A = this chain, B = another copy of it.
């Protein structure tokens, strides 16, 4: 099966839009989705930004909120902008990274996105993470402890470095087997078509 890598940060609102539709779209096209959680912070810092561009450019940020309201309404998704925005997603993304070896990264990520952008919960809060993990039928205490181990911290650091090496500058991003990089939920249809057809030009 062709694969499509889905690169996202759990603090990223447009990644929420993509996470909620990528699996059924890929399934219809006969494509496997590879969930690739990473941290946007270091990528933004390399571009000279110490926060989200939606905070650095408030006019753009206000339109993003309105855009999210319209897009979520069209797709039947709830939307509440969390406060603070963006959330500190470090622990949540470490958990998502940890889940790859055990196969629950996608389920955890969708559940985290749902409470964050559907209900406005702060995914930096321990209680929020406890609830999200417990709802998956997993052991929150054990998982949060393991997410702080050096192997996870180092692995996620390497993952984020890989994102930068491969030209990722924002989230969500999609990479096909032929190395085509697509940026933004708006390019998900095109990314899936390119992955399905193994297009190179």
- Chain A residues with a Cβ under 8 A of chain B: 47, 57, 59-60, 62-63, 66-67, 70-71, 73-74, 167, 169-170, 180-184, 186-187, 190, 194, 201
A167 touches B62 (CB 8 A): yes
Docked complex Cα distance between A130 and B74 (Å): 45
* B60 near A170: Cβ-Cβ < 8 Å: yes
Inter-chain contact A67/B169, CB cutoff 8 Å: no
The majority secondary structure among interface residues of chain A is helix
A66 CA to B186 CA, complexed, in Å: 15
- Cα distance, A154 to B60, chains bound together (Å): 26
Chain B residues with CB under 8 A of A184: 186
Residues from chain B with a CB closer than 8 A to the CB of A67 are: 182-183, 187
Contact in complex: A63, B190 (CB < 8 Å): no
Q: Which 8 A-B pairs have the closest CB atoms?
A: A186-B186, A59-B169, A60-B169, A47-B57, A63-B183, A59-B167, A63-B181, A63-B167
The docked-state distance in angstroms from the alpha carbon of A73 to that of B201 is 9
Complex alpha-carbon distance, A186 and B17, angstroms: 15
Q: How far is the CB of A168 from chain B (nearest CB, A)?
A: 8
- Give 26 CB contacts A-B under 8 Å: A47-B57, A47-B59, A47-B60, A57-B169, A59-B167, A59-B169, A60-B169, A60-B170, A62-B167, A63-B167, A63-B169, A63-B181, A63-B183, A66-B180, A66-B181, A67-B182, A67-B183, A67-B187, A70-B180, A70-B190, A70-B194, A71-B190, A73-B201, A74-B190, A184-B186, A186-B186
